[in-house]
Structures are given as structure tokens and as C-alpha cells.
Structure 1
Amino acid sequence: MNCSDYVAMGILAFPCFPLKRKGATAQTISSKELNSKESVSTKVNTSSEAPLRVAPIPPRFSLSPKSTGIGTIHLSINEIREITQNFSPLYMIGEGGFGSVYRAKLDDGRIIAIKRAKKENFAALQAEFRNEVELLTKIEHRSLVRLLGYNDQGNERIIITEYVPNGTLREHLDGQHVKLLNFNQRLEIAIDVAHALTYLHLYAEKTIIHRDVKSSNILLTENFRAKVADFGFARTVSPQPDKTHISTKVRGTAGYLDLEYLKTYQLTPKSDVYSFGILLIELLSARRPVEMKKPPNERITVRWAFNKYEEGNDTEILDPALEEMVDKDVLHKFLGFAFRCAAPSRTDRPDMKEAVEKLWDIRRDYWRRTLATVR
């Protein structure tokens, strides 16, 4: 379903809950620009085809340590076909609106992810492809999936990124992996995503609004650290003191979309904050933002969860598969903050820097109470 389908069914309406408050188009990147920083190839290119162009070293702004540099990849289309067995379904690890994602192994043993644009929507995906490549060449943070290269030769549009081995957050919440995410891991995932969005909003060369923060765009490492992926919908904003938003066509995923943005077409970093609030509720409940198979009063997860919160039934919001006991005060703080992020009005939402600080406070409180219980 797209956004208009949800609007037509009237399920995007958000509850006007009372908050308890305290106190343009992507440019084509030239080969010269992309090769402005020389790098040693990880593979000798023996093909006569033009090699994959390589991203320059990004600006070094970050709230937390960046990922370890893993070099750049030079691959031709023929080489990409070879290491994916001509894009065999056996190598496919995911599929989305842009296209299919494949796992591939290089000659030196490293694993990479290859995202290939769908052929049927080739023209429509061109802008999304260019946008993602342009943005990923300018950013680097340990909680953002790292670009290794891209190829736009002929009728192929391919993005190559680091491989994140533990699937998506949504897969884990759906129980598709053996190990269940415990509360501490969910809290750490929330903090990782908050760090990534803070970097995009405040520390990138220009403010970047992701516009599609959702559980299927959060990838997990072996140690259950989160990395934000998929920048096809992202927008950059030049800092202008007299301008608080940009007016743009609505892009995003139904259920995560900032309703104020949906109504006014005015995009701000607070639109990502709204999506992040929905993600926090999803992390705790394991429910999707819209659950059409649930009874009518439970279909909009944020509305259902807020009603439970107001009734004092916080524990009923928790993922039923989560068997551990979560301190009720910690749970209440977490939920209260999630609803604040998902407030209908952007003026009632925190910015992402404050979100990081609040989640740190919740983590400290959680560990203090956990240790006290153990003693």
C-alpha cells in the first residue's frame, strides 16, 4: 500500500494526545569528482569495461567513533555478474522499492552487499539512485551503512555497500532470527539510530533529512549494533537562519510519515524525529505501525499504545515474546519519550541531539535499577 491508500482508509489519523511537557534534485557526480581521492583497489580489474567509480573520503564529523575504514571497491558490471552468479536468487538477501540486494564475496574474502535497481521502474529510480550515491559519498559514521562504490553503466544502476550480516530490525522483531532481542539490545539499537540521525541533522556537511526511518531500513551487525540504511528519499538542507523548512513532495512509508509533513508538505529534521518515535514504539511492542489484521481499535499501533499508556497498562505494550521483567519506571520513561517524539506538532518534539541525551539517561537508569535488583 502507498500513502494515499492509507489516507483513503482513514488510518493515518493520529490521536491528539496531551503531552506532559517539562518546563535540488540530486546532481550527477562526475568521474573527476569521485576520483579526487586516490585509493588502492581491492581487486585487479582485468575487464575492458569502465571500472566502478569510487567515493571520496567523507567529512570527519561524528558524535561517536566512525566505522573502521574498509577501503574502496573497483568492479565492472561483468565482475559484479560473476560474483553474484548473474544475480542469482541464491545470493539475494533482500528486496525493496529500489530493487534487490545481493550478498557477494570478493577474491580477498571480504563480503559486500550489492543493491541493483529494478528494471521495470528504471527511469523512475534514476533520481533515487543518484540521490543515494551523492549523499553516501559525503557521510561516514559507524551507525550508517557505508558506501563502497557504485556503477551506472548501460542499463544497470548498482550501489555497493558494506555487508551488515544480521539482517534487518524488522526481521528480528518478526522472530525470523533464532535469538530474541532483549530489552537492553533494543535500547542500544534506539541509541545507535539516534546517534546516526543526530549526525545527519547536525554534523554532516549539510543537514540531511533521511525521510524513511523505519525498522526495515535498520540493519544489525553480529553484535546487534544498528546501522541506518537506504538514503534514496533523503534530502539535504542548506542552513538558512530565516528558513525553518523546505517544501517538497511527500516521500516516506505509511505509518512512519510525519503527519504535519503529510498535510503541509513542509519538511524539517523533526519529520525524522516523528518517524523515530514510531520506531521506538515498534521496538518495544514488535508491532508494525499499521496492523490491518488487528481489531479496529488496535490497527494504528501508536494510538493503541498511547491508550494503554494513559490507562497505566504499560506492560501490555511490550512484545509478548520478551519474557524478561522490565522495570516499570524505565518502561514508562521510554514510552513517554517515544510519544513525545511522535507528537502531532513538530514544535512538541525534541531534536535528535536531545533524543540521544534522553536515551542515555534512560539507559543509565535501566542499568542502575538492574544492578540494584541483582544485588
Structure 2
Amino acid sequence: MSGHRKNSSDIHTPDLTSYPPSPSPSSYSSNSSSSKSSSSRNRVKGAARSVAGVFVSCFTPPEEDAHHNSSSAYGGSDAFTSSSDISGASDSTEGRRRGTARGIYATRNDSTHMKEPGSTIFTLAEIQTATKNFSPAFKVGQGGFGTVYKGQLQDGTLVAVKRAKKSMYDKNLGREFLSEVQALSKVEHLNLVKCYGYLQQGDERIIVVEYVANGTLREHLDCFNGNVLSLASRLDIAIDVAHAITYLHTYTDHPIIHRDIKSSNILLTEKLRAKVADFGFARLAADVESGQTHVSTQVKGTAGYLDPEYLKTYQLTEKSDVYSFGILLVELVTGRRPVESKRELDERVTARWAMKKFRDGQAITVLDPKLQESDANGPVLENILELALLCVNGSRKNRPTMRRCVEVLWNIRKEYKDLLA
């Protein structure tokens, strides 16, 4: 699907923001017994093995040494350097528990397809019925993977049907399809799109996932529906995304690196709850229990969100997702895309521009002009930018973990609510 790390013992807590203590283990506990947890874990592993077995003979597993959508827009691994580092940014395995006591990171699939995530093998006839034979009227998206259609299963469940391009000789697309199916078969979380199943028949490769009707985060930041996302909603969305990535990094049977965290891969429900989508670039993280510190792999992702250290070394870790999340935080508060090619030279790389303004004490000037300045918005903006600065640190050892990002964002939201009261 889709070792050498520096010592992180010299990491310090930043001065600008005070962070709450890490939640106790009980706060992540579920009410299910250990035997049920073990049984569930075995079923998930079994489903993943069966999905992998279907495709092992169809697609070439190793990745080639080629770049995909890569960019060195940030000028190397030292493009961002924070003057303060964050406590808890170490890559140690302390507190990491696989497949047990997932607590707030656990959810249930309320579809009638309740075997395991992604376990249903659909027939082509079922897919054709659901999409009215891939009717152009049901088309809702187009990407590098292929075309996305809205569909409805026999039981009434609304789904998004991702139909891969019919490129029989495109090994990259084959690997991305296999990667996404394997990743989705292992995960189930409130803030991740649900996978109902897949189809592989001849030159057809199809993934059937949850349909999320309210568009992408990027569309909402662009006010595609005429409504402006409030700063409170943007903060809630950031927390939802942070929860989803924390689950992938910490609470799956084996850590998963998403590799393509960006605003157009975040879908919003009618209640503005965020769901992270598109696992085409996902990779299993290094097996830290066997001493590995990173995965050596070709660079994949989206220009503007890519970790410069990953670009430079080809060493992938969970901290690459943290970097992308930092860029996303800047995008949320500024409303700007990561790269704005039509702006003045010193404003084209949004995160670099915003971080400079923050360091110069002019953070309020980067606030999305669609949002009103207020006594409450100023402090929360500064706190979010502080966290973003830590996430986009040029050295991965100095970036926080995603679990720590959740804690920080919780604290920011609490302080924001107190200011609004």
C-alpha cells in the first residue's frame, strides 16, 4: 500500500502558548471488553488480508523512483524554522496502542453494509444500477485517479463511486487503487469517509465510499455557496481533521500516513463536520517496534503541502502529515491557497508570508478578509498560527505529533469560547 531519525530529546515547550496536559489513557478508552477488541482487530486484519490478496497478483507492489506532484516551493528543509519547539513532538512509541481502547477514535458504520469497512465486493451490475450506468448527470468529480459518481445502493445508502481511469498499462494508477483499498479496509472513524467496498473486474477498478454532500473545505473557503465559514467553524474543522490524522497515526493496527492532507481532500457534512478523504497516496508507516524510523519512498503529494524534508531525503514519516496539517491551518485562517501565483512575490507562498507577519507581531493582517476582526479573533488567530509554525518546522523532529495538535487545538477552542462568552 498506499531507517535514520535524529534524536528528539532536545525538544522544549514553546513560550507563546500554554498547553493542557496529555489526556490520561482512560480518556481514550472504549467501553468494550478486551476480548471484543481482540475479535474486532482480528476481523479487520482478516478483511485487509483478503483485500490485499485480491490485488497482489494484479498490480506491481514496489514503487518506482519518480516524483508525482512534487514541488520544492519552500526552498528546502530549513524553509521554516520555529524559534520554539513543542513538548511531546518526539516520535517515540509511548502511548501508542494498536487496535485496542480507541475511545473517541472509534465509531460504527451505520450502513446496512456492516461487515467490516471496505469488505463488500460489488458486482458491475450493482454499480451500474447505483449510478444509472455511469450517467453523466451523476458525475460529481474528476481527478487523477478517475471519475467520481454519485450513486444509491439498493438499501437506499447514498455513495460516491470512484471509477479509475481505464489505463491498463498505468502501474501508478494500479498502485494508487490498491493503496486506497488497503488503507480504507483498515480504518473506521467519524472524521474519515467510510468505505463500503470495491470492484475489480477486467479493466474496471472501482471504490465505493460514503457520499458527503456539502462539498470540500476548499470550496467553502472560496464561498462557493455564498456563505462564509466562521472562525469558530474553521477551528472545529481543524480539530476534526486533527482527530482523523491522529487516529491514522496512533490508533490503527499499524500506523498509516495519508500523504495528501489538503483542503480539497476534506469533505464537509451539512453540519460542517469534516471528513478526510482520498487515500490514494496512503502508506503504512515505519515499524518502530522493529527499529525502523522512516519509510524510504518516492515523493508523492500535492505541491504547496509537501514536507520539504521528505522532498529532500525521500524519508517519509508521520511528521510529513503534520507538516501538511500546518499548511492547512494557515489556509484555514487566511482563506488563501498554499501557493498564490498571482500575488506579489513576497506573498506567493502563503505559509511563508503568514509566518513572517506572525513573527513581526502583525498576525491580524493575515486573517481572511471575509472574517471580521474582533477582540476574540485576534488571540485565537495568533494561537493557531503558533501551532502552524511548529507544524511546518523544517526539521521533523521539532514538529509536534498529531495527538499533541489535538490537545493544543482543544485548548485554543476552550479559550476562544471563554472570550466569546
So what's the TM-score if we normalise by structure 2? 0.75
Q: Could you list the per-position Cα deviations for residues 175-203 of structure 1 after superposition, in whole angstroms to 9, with x for gaps in the alignment?
A: 11232211111101110111111111111
State the partner residue of 1:70: 111
Name the counterpart of 1:292: 341
Aligned position for 1:312: 361
The alignment-based identity, stated in percent, is 50
Alpha carbons 1:83, 1:105 under 8 Å: kept: yes
Q: 1:356 is matched with which residue?
A: 406
Q: Choose which of 299, 315, 322 in structure 2 pairs with 1:250.
A: 299
1:330 CA displacement: 1.8
Contact kept in structure 2, 1:104 and 1:113, CA below 8 Å: yes
Distance 1:68 1:83, change over 3 A: closer
Per-residue Cα deviation, 1:5-43 (whole angstroms, up to 9, x for no partner): x44xx66556344422367xxxxxxxxxxxxxxxxxxxx
Kindly indicate whether residue 188 of structure 2 is the aligned counterpart of residue 188 of structure 1.
no
What are the within-5 Å matches in structure 2 for residues 179-258 of structure 1? 179-237=227-285, 238-240=287-289, 242-258=291-307
Q: Is the contact made by 1:65 and 1:141 (CA closer than 8 Å) also made in structure 2? A: yes
User: What is the identity, as a one-letter code, of the residue corresponding to 1:84?
Assistant: T
- Determine the C-alpha separation between the residues in 2 that align with 1:145 and 1:308: 35
Structure number with higher relative contact order (C-alpha < 8 Å, ≥ 6 residues apart): 2
SS of structure 2 residue aligned to 1:63: helix
- Call closer, same or farther: CA 1:230–1:60 in 2, change over 3 Å: farther
- Range that drifts further, 112-121 or 93-102: 112-121
Distance, in Å, in 1 between the alignment partners of 2:258 and 2:419 is: 35
Indicate the RMSD between aligned Cα atoms, in angstroms.
2.1
Structure 1 residues 292 and 137, CA, compared in 2 at 3 Å: closer, same or farther? same
Contact 1:169 1:215 in 2 (8 A): yes
Shift in Å, 1:301? 0.6
Higher alpha-carbon deviation: 319-328 or 331-340:
319-328
Could you say what secondary structure the match of 1:102 adopts? strand
Given that 2:86 and 2:390 are in contact with CA atoms closer than 8 Å, whether structure 1 keeps it comes out as no
Query: Which residue does 2:158 correspond to in 1?
Result: 111
Report the equivalent of 1:15: 79
The 1:3/1:75 distance shift into structure 2, 3 A limit, reads: closer
Count of aligned pairs: 334
Shift of 1:356: 0.5
Give the superposition deviation at 1:252.
Answer: 0.8
Give the match for residue 29 of structure 1: none
| Counterpart for residue 43 of structure 1 | none
The corresponding residue for 1:34 is: none
In the other structure, the counterpart of 1:334 is 384
Tell me the TM-score normalised to structure 1 length: 0.83
Amino acid across the alignment from 2:149: Y
Q: State the partner residue of 1:176.
A: 224
Moved more, 74-83 or 209-218: 74-83
Counterpart contact for 2:199–2:205, Cα < 8 Å: yes
1:146 has 2:200 as partner: no
Q: Judging changes above 3 Å, is the alpha-carbon distance between structure 1 residues 134 and 2 closer, same or farther for their aligned structure 2 residues?
A: closer
**4+ residue segments displaced more than 3 Å:** 1-4, 10-18, 58-65, 120-123
Q: Which amino acid aligns with 2:143?
A: G
Question: What's the CA shift for 1:62?
Answer: 4.8
1:272-322 deviation line (CA, Å, top 9, x unaligned): 000000000011111111111111111101111111112222122111112
Distance in 2 between residues matched to 1:257 and 1:147, nearest whole Å: 26
Separation in structure 2 between the aligned mates of residue 319 and residue 225 of structure 1, nearest angstrom: 21
Tell me which residue corresponds to 2:50. Answer: none
For 2:197 and 2:373, the matched residues in 1 are separated by 42
For structure 1, the 5+ residue unaligned runs are 24-57
Q: Please say if residues 60 and 140 of structure 1, whose CA atoms lie closer than 8 Å, have aligned partners that are also in contact.
A: no
CA change 1:289–1:246 in 2 (3 A) is same
Structure 2: state its 5+ residue gaps. 1-66, 88-98, 114-119
CA distance in 1, matches of 2:80, 2:234: 27
Q: CA deviation at 1:123?
A: 3.9
